[in-house]
Amino acid sequence: MFSKVLIANRGEIALRILRACKELGIQTVAIHSQADANAMHVRLADESVCVGPNAAKDSYLNIPSILAACEITGAEAVHPGYGFLSENARFARILAEHKIAFIGPSAHHIEIMGDKIQAKKTALELGIPCVPGSPGAVTSEADAKRIAADIGYPVLIKAAAGGGGRGMKVAKSEADLSVAFSTARTEAKAAFGDDAVYMEKYLGKPRHIEVQVIGDGQGNAVHLGTRDCSLQRRHQKVWEEAAAPTVPMDKQNEIGEICAAAMRKLKYSGAGTVEFLYEDGEFYFIEMNTRLQVEHPVTERITNFDIVYEQIRVAAGEKLSLTQDEVKFYGHAIEVRINAEDPQTFAPSPGRITYYHPAGGVGVRVDSAVYQGYNIPPYYDSLIGKLIVHGRTRPECLQRLNRALDEFIVDGIKTTLPLFRRLIKEPDIQSGNYDIHWLEHYLETNK
Ligand code: ADP
């Protein structure tokens, strides 16, 4: 096992990783920007190194500084968390060259899945069902028209290097295709420096269902069930559930097993998420994230399994600690993302937290790095905490969430808590009857 791990992240996820390291008896090194000198992840770590000024590109994304921090402290491994360098194959490769372990998959697997065209090809080869679409990159408008006619309108043009919903355009009919095709390419070029695009059938009312997987790089891999993350605003998830509320259990097991088998074939190492759209009883692969996800705690809650602890174990060369038969599911869990944002306009609301009282009690978990008096800096994303609630059944979980939301107090800044207090009263949320467009439609009609 490693004796010292550097945590290349900040906020709640840095704390989450730190906790797993402590339980494994591993010394921790926090890195931080100047703005984060007093942050909780820095206070709780055994050592800390300032890696640069406030802007993420100069600190949390600064590979030379992070390498230097590893050298100075003698860290043997780096946990990248999510975001920042977590899906950067170059970073994983540089660490390997310096004999430092990357707590995540191989650079090769990050690369395959980072390019969505290649990811889809790989998924098809591995027997994972995909959205019907172009077999590869589409480079001319004439080809785009031919392929669209083939798969049928509406179609979606997507950036190969995509992320965060950017470089994605819908064409409802052939009349829209020319504009959609050229704007998707221009956006992709501007956002990712790569104008490669591909095409998919546009699904009208899908749910976003994802499968959590974990492997040890030695051919062992399991799935830890599904999550439903359909409640999204601008492609950003705001509320996540495990297991997926409306998908029949046999279908969940079936897609889970397909994903686990694929990971065994790949000899995948570490945690990953295979994301699908689900419509009319069918799953369609959209992408794979080769890292820990924000919403991993709902899975931990229903499986009683510590995903981060296991990530560290397998990165140190140990075998997966459980077989698929040993994965058991208990009840239902929901996570809501508490963002420092106006709950109506979603404008960021950084500043000082004057009073902080997190929810507690039976079945409640709060992952957060904030505290009373903490000053939220304006330089990073607005997630300040996650409220995760568990119940034996979904109705019990909802009751508990309702109670926990009432208890939670964050004063001095605006948060998304009032939005969740409204959402939980909605009949569609109570029944689990929502798709990926539900939230935006709700926000549009309930201003
Ligand atoms: P990104 O990496 O940019 O987030 P994804 O491929 O994960 O791109 O898609 C993001 C979101 O876009 C999905 O969660 C879904 O809401 C929507 N989307 C993606 N592909 C399709 C599709 N074929 N039909 C309908 N909606 C889609």
* Contact between 147 and 199 (Cβ < 8 Å): yes
Name the residue of 117, 157, 235, 276 to mutate for ligand 1: max ligand atoms within 8 A of Cβ.
235
Query: Each residue of 240-252: b (16+ CB within 10 Å) or e?
Result: bbbbbbebeeebb
Predicted confidence (pLDDT) per residue in 294-336, tens digit = 999 999 999 999 999 999 999 999 999 999 999 999 999 999 9
Per-residue pLDDT, 71:
98
Pocket of ligand 1 (CB under 6 A): 131, 156, 162-165, 200-203, 206, 208, 235, 275, 277, 286-287, 436
- Is residue 213 classed as helix, strand or coil in its secondary structure? strand
Instruction: Report yes or no on 375 lying in a domain.
Output: yes
**Spatial separation of the C-alpha atoms in residues 75 and 57, rounded to whole Å:** 22
Residues 359, 272 share a domain: yes
Cis peptide bond N-terminal to 154, omega within 30? yes
Cβ 271 vs Cβ 210: under 8 Å: no
In a domain, 135, yes or no: no
Beta pairing partners, 102: 78
Indicate the residue among 201, 218, 245 that finishes a domain. 201
To test the pocket of ligand 1, the residue of 131, 286, 436 to mutate (highest count of ligand atoms within 8 Å of its CB) is 286
What the block records as the tokens of 294 is 């924000």
Q: For residue 123, is it within any domain?
A: no
User: Does residue 111 sit within a domain?
Assistant: no
Between CA 443 and CA 446 the distance in angstroms is: 5
Give yes or no: residues 389 and 288 share one domain.
yes
Residue 30 near residue 42, CB atoms below 8 Å: yes
Distance between Cα 171 and ligand 1 center (Å): 14
Residue with tokens 């206070």: 43
CATH of the domain at 59: 3.40.50.20
Confidence of residue 116 (pLDDT cuts 50, 70, 90): very high
241 and 177, same domain (yes or no): no
Amino acid occupying residue 138: V
Residue 130 lies in a domain: no
Spot the catalytic one: 207, 291, 301, 365: 291
Q: pLDDT tens across 248-276, in order?
A: 999 999 999 999 999 999 999 999 999 99
Asked if 171 and 292 sit in the same domain, the reply is: no
Q: Tell me, yes or no, whether 128 lies in a domain.
A: no
**Mean pLDDT, range 276-281, rounded to an integer:** 97
pLDDT for the residue numbered 162: 83
**Sequence-distant contacts of 81-84: CB under 8 A, at least 24 apart:** 81/7, 81/8, 81/9, 81/13, 81/14, 81/16, 81/17, 81/291, 81/292, 82/9, 82/13, 82/291, 82/292, 82/293, 82/294, 83/9, 83/381, 84/8, 84/9, 84/56, 84/60
Average pLDDT over residues 405-420: 98
- Which single residue is written with the structure tokens 């924000």? 294
Q: Are residues 197 and 238 in the same domain?
A: no
DSSP secondary structure, 374-388, as one string: -EE-TTS--EEEEEE
Residue 125 lies in a domain: no
Report the CATH number at residue 315: 3.30.470.20
| Domain endpoint, select from 201, 235, 252 | 201
Same domain for 407 and 302? yes
Q: Whose CA is nearest to atom 21 of ligand 1?
A: 202
What is the model's pTM? 0.96
Q: Which DSSP string corresponds to 278-320?
A: EETTEEEEEEEE-S--TTHHHHHHHHT--HHHHHHHHHTTPPP
Residue 30 sits at the vertex; the CA angle it makes with 191 and 72, to the nearest 5 degrees, is 100
Do 180 and 215 have their domain in common?
no
Taking phi over 0 as left and psi of -120 to 50 as alpha, with beta for the rest, 255 belongs to alpha
C-alpha of residue 163 to centroid of ligand 1, in Å: 9
Which tokens in the block code for residue 380?
């990073």
181 in the same domain as 228: no
Q: Which of 34-48, 191-205, 206-220, 395-409 has the weakest average pLDDT?
A: 191-205
Question: What does 128-150 look like in DSSP terms, one character per residue?
Answer: --B-SB-SS-B-SHHHHHHHHHH
Residue 165 has pLDDT above 90, yes or no: no
The preferred substitution site among 199, 209, 277, 436 for testing ligand 1, maximizing ligand atoms within 8 Å of CB, is 277
Same domain, 350 and 424: yes
- pLDDT at position 94 is 98
d(CA 107, CA 95): 10
Asked whether the predicted pLDDT for residue 46 surpasses 90, the reply is yes
Do 323 and 411 fall into the same domain?
Answer: yes
114 closest CA partner among 134, 132, 93, 89 = 89
Q: How far is the CA of 200 from the centre of ligand 1 (A)?
A: 10
Residue-wise pLDDT for 325-375, tens only, equals 999 999 999 999 999 999 999 999 999 999 999 999 999 999 999 999 999
DSSP character at residue 245: S
pLDDT > 90 fraction of the chain, expressed in percent and rounded:
96
What is the tally of structural domains in the chain? 3
User: Is residue 164 predicted with pLDDT exceeding 80?
Assistant: no
- Whether the pLDDT of residue 106 is over 90: the answer is yes
Beta partners for residue 365, in sequence order = 388
pLDDT at residue 338 in the model: 98
Give yes or no: residues 288 and 353 share one domain.
Answer: yes
Q: How far apart are CA 205 and CA 249, in angstroms?
A: 21
Cβ neighbours of residue 357 closer than 8 Å, sequence gap 6 or more = 407, 408, 409
Can you give the residue range of the structural domain that contains 438? 207-446
Mean pLDDT score, 35-60? 97
Residue 284 CA: nearest ligand 1 atom is 23
- 418-429 pLDDT, tens digit per residue, is 999 999 999 999
CA-to-CA distance for 415 and 337, rounded, in angstroms? Answer: 10
| Atom nearest to 116 CA in ligand 1 | 6
Is the C-alpha dihedral spanning 338, 166, 117, 178 positive or negative?
positive
Are 213 and 177 in a shared domain? no
For 78, 174, 388, the CA distances from 241, given in Å and listed in that order, are: 29, 37, 9
| Higher per-residue pLDDT: 215 or 135 | 215
Examine residue 131 and state whether it is found in any structural domain, yes or no: no
Mean of per-residue pLDDT scores for the chain: 97
CATH number at residue 149: 3.30.1490.20
- Tell me whether residue 291 is one of the annotated catalytic residues: yes
Alpha carbons 269 and 173: distance in angstroms, whole number: 42
User: Which of 179, 201, 223 is at the close of a domain?
Assistant: 201
